Amino acid sequence: MASDPSSVLVRFAGVAKTYDGTTFAVRDLDLDVRHGEFLTLLGPSGSGKTTTLMMLAGFEAPSTGDILLDGRSIRATPAHRRNFGMVFQSYALFPHLSVGDNVAYPLNVRGVSGQERRDRVARALAMVRLEGYQTRRPSQLSGGQQQRVALARALVFEPTLVLMDEPLGALDKQLREHMQIELKALHRQLGITFVYVTHDQGEALTLSDRVAVFQDGALQQVAPVDRLYEAPANRFVAGFVGDATFLEGRLVSRHSGAVELELPGGWRLRGVDGDLGDAPPGTDVVAVVRPERIAFTSEPAGENALSATVEDVIYFGDHLRARCAIDGQAVATVKVPLGPRPPVGGAVSLHLPAEHLRIYR
Amino acid sequence: MAGSEADAARALARDRRARVLQALGLTAPLLVFLAFTFLIPIGALLMRAVENPEVARALPATVAVLDSWDTVSAPPDGAYRAFADDLLAMAEPADAGGLARRLNSELPGARSLVMGAFRQRESFATLDAPAAKAAFLALDERWQQPELWRVIARNGSRWTPDYLLASVDRRRDATGDVVAVPEEQAVFVRILLRTLGIGATVTLVCLVLAYPLAWWLSTLPVRKANRLLILVLVPFWTSVLVRVAAWIVLLQSEGLVNRALAGLGWIDRPLELLFNRTGVIIAMVHILLPFMILPLYSVMKGIPRDYQRAAVSLGSHPLGAFVRVFVPQTLPGVTAGVLLVFILAIGYYVTPALLGGPADQMLSSSVAQYANVELNWGMACALGAVLLTATLVLYGVYRRFATGEGLTA
């Protein structure tokens, strides 16, 4: 990597996009893309992540705000001058051209010809391990191979930035996981900045350096993957990224970050402040905890302990998940190591460690 | 083991047979319909184009005698005798009428000769060959001209290439060689070329008008596009005749178009838009445009926008992306539309007949002329066969295109 990894390549500054003047597909977006990072835009459909990518690609113009590339506005730069490689979910390989001609397309457009073009096409195809496929038609390749050709085509002209719009969405699960590993390796090897759009939080966690979570057109949180999982910024992010159990209760007291809440059953739990701000005692809040942080305990009266009934035990291969019913709450999911199974229908006590119980509005 | 394999093979064969029978059962009504309305008529048409039954049927003895004739010297006396026998063998006057009409179409004046001899046939009954010849010559001097007998000899076989040759301005000369007809009689090649020319012009104009429209339609949301497609289909709701009549109203010297142009001050005197090539092409384009728009639209609708976006993201100017990525993918639609419009156009009859002048008549009008006016089914069918051949050649070219492009996937 030539440039400083922490320096900003792309900056969204106060960007908003509306198609009808009243509803916003994207609003108040301030987001930095750093040199060489793998940034994923994550969110459910209609959250604004694809619109954000399309504005970056130049296919949509921001209604307000500006997009800066290396500090200079690219609002007026048309899509074909931005020098960003793009990979589509549909692959978008040109069906009337061979694989080689598809990969050579961006080079032809840039006037690269002869031996250099041949060399670069061969190198790009070798990079995605498709040597010898030059003369095939896209329709003769499998889905995974087609996606690799699309990748080679987006990389062959050494773009400033590679944009990917759910590129693995059309592949089956095994192939998708395999391609995730390849993509990540490719990113590490090339050092090019990737901006990746997906609605699959598992994929986002696997691939990314940082993830930007979108909902209803608004950016919810941008963070490295571990921070995103361990310290979600709000209730939506906590629910969207990873599995979690939500317990509804009422805020009792707060002392410098340590929060106490009361569940309808009378239990009192202590936890960490998620996004309470200046919420007064008595506010309705939720406590969120990951399945692997909950443990069975033999001290039902201990601190942060709840009694529950085992409703179901699900076998996951490398672990078990017990679904435990708590009075007046949604069912809690507990990750249990392989071993003796908790008896279904039996009463258990759950321990929710205070440092892993995050309280949100 | 082997037994169960054989059982499985038998079951498979039974299954396959059942499926074939089912397929046949489901398609049989259509196949029967097609056989009676399409295959048999076309077969009959092709037969008629080479069939020449009148002389062979009416004059079997004469033809047999003329077989050994050198076609140049005076016809043998035996031919007169045989002709008399053939006349005597005819059951009713209609047989002679068919023969007379047939010979007359090749040799003007032959009709009265044949009918005259037919009326006097009883008087030939007992004469020997030289006497028969004398009797015929006494009836009419023209009986001795070799040309008449050559026509009989040439048409003595049940099959003839003459109609097909004539439909491409060729004929057999006295010695049977194929030669071009004299310049002043050569019409069909010119009409065929005119037909193909009008077809090509109409097809090109349709393509130029339809392509942008189809592209625009394909970029619209489906609901809106469907509403607009109804407008494309509206012309199908009225008969061709009504539309042609409407064009006459619009295009005449004092019609709407000329008045509007004059009112705008763009022209000083009315444009000649009717009863010439312009009128024919305007009306044919109007009628055939939907056949170009629909295949183009259906192909374009199936091309995802992602292709052009991908090309642009790879550095292509949007216009370059359109030409290099979008247009090639629409070629199947273009070939389908071009083929459809061209094939329909070269068969046009009513529109040129009503909106064109004498120099704008197409091959179909010649077919109609022979079938309806001259009752020469041989020529009508031969010209039809020429049109059919042109269509099949085009279809062959299309097949080469469609498969050669490798766009079937």
Q: Which of residues 280-339 of B touch A (CB under 8 A)?
A: 304, 306-307, 309-318, 320-321, 325, 328-329, 331
Pairwise pLDDT comparison (B213 vs A233), residue with the higher score: B213
Q: What pLDDT is stored for residue A105 in this prediction? A: 92
Query: Average pLDDT of A293-300?
Result: 80
Asked whether the beta carbons of B181 and B171 are under 8 A apart, the reply is yes
pLDDT in tens, B345-401: 998 988 898 888 888 889 999 999 888 888 888 899 999 999 899 888 888 887 777
- Cβ distance A83 to B328 less than 8 Å, yes or no, reads no
As assigned by CATH, the class of the B188-404 domain is mainly alpha
Find chain B residues with C-beta within 8 A of A153's C-beta. Answer: 314
The predicted model gives A245-271 an average pLDDT of: 82
What pLDDT, on a 0 to 100 scale, did the predictor assign at position B1? Answer: 52
CATH architecture of A8-236: 3-Layer(aba) Sandwich (3.40)
Distance from CA of B398 to the nearest CA of A (A): 18
Contact B329 A106 (CB under 8 A): no
B315 and A83 in contact by Cβ < 8 A? yes
Q: Is the pLDDT of residue B409 over 70?
A: no
Strand partners, B214: none
Query: What average pLDDT does the segment A36-41 reach?
Result: 91
CB contact under 8 A, B329 and A110: no
Residue B257's Cα: distance from chain center in Å?
Answer: 34
User: Among all chains, which residue has been given the structure tokens 């394909």?
Assistant: B218
pLDDT in tens, B183-238: 888 889 999 999 999 999 999 999 999 999 999 999 899 899 999 999 888 878 88
What is the identity of the amino acid at B55? V
Mean per-residue pLDDT, B83-89: 89
Residue A2 has pLDDT above 60, yes or no: no
Maximum distance among all Cα pairs of chain A, rounded to whole angstroms: 78
Position A1 scores a pLDDT of 40
Q: Dump pLDDT digits (tens) for A60-97.
A: 888 998 999 988 888 888 888 888 989 988 888 998 89
At residue B65's C-alpha, the angle toward residues B62 and B67, to 5°, is 110
Q: Calculate ∠ Cα A136-A141-A146, nearest 5°.
A: 105
How far apart CA A260 and CA B283 sit, in angstroms, is: 85
Sign of CA dihedral B351, B356, B358, B360: negative
The DSSP secondary-structure symbol of A112 reads -
Taking only the tens place, the pLDDT of each residue in A153-197 is 998 988 989 999 988 887 888 888 888 888 898 898 888 999 999
A244-360 domain in CATH 2.40.50.140? yes
pLDDT in tens, B133-156: 888 888 888 888 888 888 888 888
User: Which residue of B307, B316, B331 is in closest CB contact with A92?
Assistant: B307
Read off the pLDDT of each residue in A207-230 and give the average, rounded to a whole number: 90
Mean pLDDT over residues B168-186, rounded? 82
Q: Are A261 and A269 in contact (CB under 8 A)?
A: yes
What's the mean per-residue pLDDT of chain B?
Answer: 88
Write down the pLDDT at residue A198.
92
Q: Determine what percent of chain B is predicted with pLDDT higher than 90.
A: 27
Q: Stretch A41-67: mean pLDDT, rounded?
A: 90
What tokens does B56 get?
């062979």
SS3 of A342, please? coil
Please, where in chain A does CATH 3.40.50.300 lie? 8-236
Return the pLDDT at B26.
94
Domain ranges of chain B: 55-158, 188-404
pLDDT digits (tens, 9 = 90+) for B1-44: 556 888 899 999 999 999 999 999 999 999 999 999 989 989 98
Structure tokens, B327: 């247009």
**Cβ-based contacts of A86 with chain B (< 8 Å):** 309-310, 313-314
In this prediction, residues A189-208 reach a mean pLDDT of 90
Give me the half-sphere count of Cα atoms (radius 13 Å) on the Cβ side of residue A288: 24
CA of B332, closest CA in chain A: separation in Å? 11
To the nearest whole angstrom, how far is the Cα of B223 from the nearest Cα of chain A? 19
Which three-class secondary structure state does DSSP give residue A201? helix
CA distance A133 to A215: 41
The residues near A203 (Cβ < 8 Å, ≥ 6 apart) are A40, A168, A176, A180
- Region of B341 please: left (phi>0), alpha (psi -120 to 50) or beta: alpha
- In angstroms, rounded to a whole number, what is the distance separating the alpha carbons of residues B100 and B110? 6
Instruction: Report the pLDDT value the prediction gives residue B290, as an integer from 0 to 100.
Output: 92
pLDDT at B291: 93
A286: helix, strand or coil: strand
Residue ranges of A 144-183 with Cβ closer than 8 A to chain B:
150, 153-154, 157, 163
Average pLDDT, chain A: 86
The pLDDT score that the predictor gives to residue B406 is: 44
